[in-house]
Structure 1
Amino acid sequence: MPERREWHVSWGPYALLGIATLISLVTAEPVMRNGRPETLVALALLALVLQLCWTRIHRVVSERGAAGEIYYALRTVLAFALTYLNPFFAVYATLGYFDAGTWLRPRAVKVGLLATAIIMAGSQSGGMPFTSPLQWAAFGALFTLNSGLVLLFMRIEHEREENARAKAATIAELERANARLKQAHEENAGLQAQLLVRAREAGVGDERRRLAAEIHDTIAQSLTGIITQLQAAVESEDPAEGRRHVDRAADLARHGLGEARRSVQDLGPSALEHDELPVALRKVVEEWAAGSGVRAELAVVGEAVPLHGEIEATLLRIAQESLANAGRHAQPTRVGVTLSYMDEEVSVDVRDDGRGFDPGRVTGSSTSGFGLGGMRARAERVAGVFEVESEPGTGTAVSARVPLVRHA
Structure 2
Amino acid sequence: MNAADRQIERRQDQFHTWGPYGLLVVGTVLALSTSDLTAVPAAARYELGALIVVALALQLWHGPRRGRRTPSRRGTVYYALRWAIAFALTWLNPFFAFYAITGYFDADEVIPGTRRQRLGLFATSILQAASLSGGMPPRSASQWAVFAGLLAAINALLMAVAHVAFQEEQRSRDRAATITELERANAALQQALDENAALHAQLLVQAREAGVADERRRLAAEIHDTIAQGLTGIIAQLQVVANAPDLSIARTHLERASALARHSLGEARRSVHNLAPVALADDGLPEALKKTVAEWAERSDVRGEFTVTGTAEQLHEEVSATLLRIAQEALSNASRHAYASRLGVTLSFMGDEVTLDIRDDGRGFDPVAVPERTGSGGFGLDGMRARAERIAGSLTVESEPGHGTAVSARVPLIRHDR
What is the Cα deviation at residue 159 of structure 1?
1.1
Contact 2:90 2:135 in 1 (8 A): yes
- Structure 1: distance between partners of 2:160 and 2:169: 14
Letter in 2 for 1:93: A
Q: Which of 143, 158, 164 matches 2:172? A: 164
Letter in 2 for 1:182: Q
What is the Cα deviation at residue 264 of structure 1?
3.5
Q: Which residue pairs with 1:71 in the alignment?
A: 78
Give RMSD over aligned pairs.
Answer: 3.5
Contact 1:72 1:103 in 2 (8 A): yes
Contact 1:20 1:92 in 2 (8 A): yes
Q: Which of 374, 379, 388 matches 2:377? A: 374
CA distances 1:8-39 after superposition (whole Å, capped 9, x unpaired): 22111112112222221222329x98972322
- Structure 2: distance between partners of 1:259 and 1:372: 20
CA distances 1:233-257 after superposition (whole Å, capped 9, x unpaired): 1221211111111111111122222
Q: Which residue pairs with 2:300 in the alignment?
A: 273
Q: Which residue pairs with 1:347 in the alignment?
A: 369
- Structure 2: distance between partners of 1:61 and 1:13: 14
Q: Which residue pairs with 1:146 in the alignment?
A: 154
Contact 1:346 1:403 in 2 (8 A): no
Alignment of 1:170-319 (within 5 A): 170-266=178-274, 273-274=300-301, 310=329, 313=332
Q: Which residue pairs with 1:12 in the alignment?
A: 19
CA gap of 1:340–1:94, structure 2 versus 1, over 3 A, is same
- Structure 2: distance between partners of 1:159 and 1:270: 78
2:36 partner SS: helix
What is the Cα deviation at residue 144 of structure 1?
1.6
Q: After superposing the two structures, state which structure 1 stretch, 151-160 or 167-176, moved more.
A: 167-176
CA distances 1:103-136 after superposition (whole Å, capped 9, x unpaired): 1122211111111111111111111121222212
Q: Which residue pairs with 1:358 in the alignment?
A: none
Letter in 2 for 1:81: A
CA gap of 1:270–1:21, structure 2 versus 1, over 3 A, is closer
1:46 maps onto 2:54 in alignment: yes
- Structure 2: distance between partners of 1:318 and 1:407: 14
Contact 1:122 1:128 in 2 (8 A): yes
Contact 1:230 1:246 in 2 (8 A): yes
- Structure 2: distance between partners of 1:270 and 1:203: 23
What is the Cα deviation at residue 312 of structure 1?
7.3
Q: Which residue pairs with 2:315 in the alignment?
A: none
- Structure 1: distance between partners of 2:139 and 2:108: 35
Q: Which of 100, 105, 122 matches 2:107? A: 100
- Structure 2: distance between partners of 1:217 and 1:273: 20
Q: After superposing the two structures, state which structure 1 stretch, 112-121 or 204-213, moved more.
A: 204-213
- Structure 2: distance between partners of 1:177 and 1:122: 55
Q: Which of 118, 121, 128 matches 2:129? A: 121
Instruction: Find the structure with the greater CA-based Rg.
Output: 1
**For structure 2, which runs of at least 5 residues remain unmatched after alignment?**
1-7, 275-291, 304-326, 339-362, 387-395, 400-404, 409-418
> What is the aligned length?
319
What is the Cα deviation at residue 211 of structure 1?
2.0
- Structure 2: distance between partners of 1:406 and 1:318: 14
Q: After superposing the two structures, state which structure 1 stretch, 136-145 or 258-267, moved more.
A: 258-267
- Structure 2: distance between partners of 1:270 and 1:260: 17
Letter in 2 for 1:233: V
TM-score for both structures, normalised by structure 2: 0.67
1:146 partner SS: helix
- Structure 2: distance between partners of 1:350 and 1:125: 109
- Structure 1: distance between partners of 2:235 and 2:302: 28
What is the Cα deviation at residue 402 of structure 1?
6.5
Alignment of 1:355-370 (within 5 A): none
- Structure 2: distance between partners of 1:242 and 1:270: 35
Q: Could you list the runs of 4 or more consecutive aligned residues of structure 1 that deviate by over 6 angstroms after TM superposition?
A: 32-35, 267-272, 315-319
Q: After superposing the two structures, state which structure 1 stretch, 133-142 or 119-128, moved more.
A: 133-142
**For structure 1, which runs of at least 5 residues remain unmatched after alignment?**
277-307, 320-338, 352-370, 385-400
Q: Which residue pairs with 1:89 in the alignment?
A: 96
Sequence identity (%): 45
What is the Cα deviation at residue 374 of structure 1?
1.6
TM-score for both structures, normalised by structure 1: 0.68
CA distances 1:161-188 after superposition (whole Å, capped 9, x unpaired): 1112112222222222233233333323
1:406 partner SS: strand
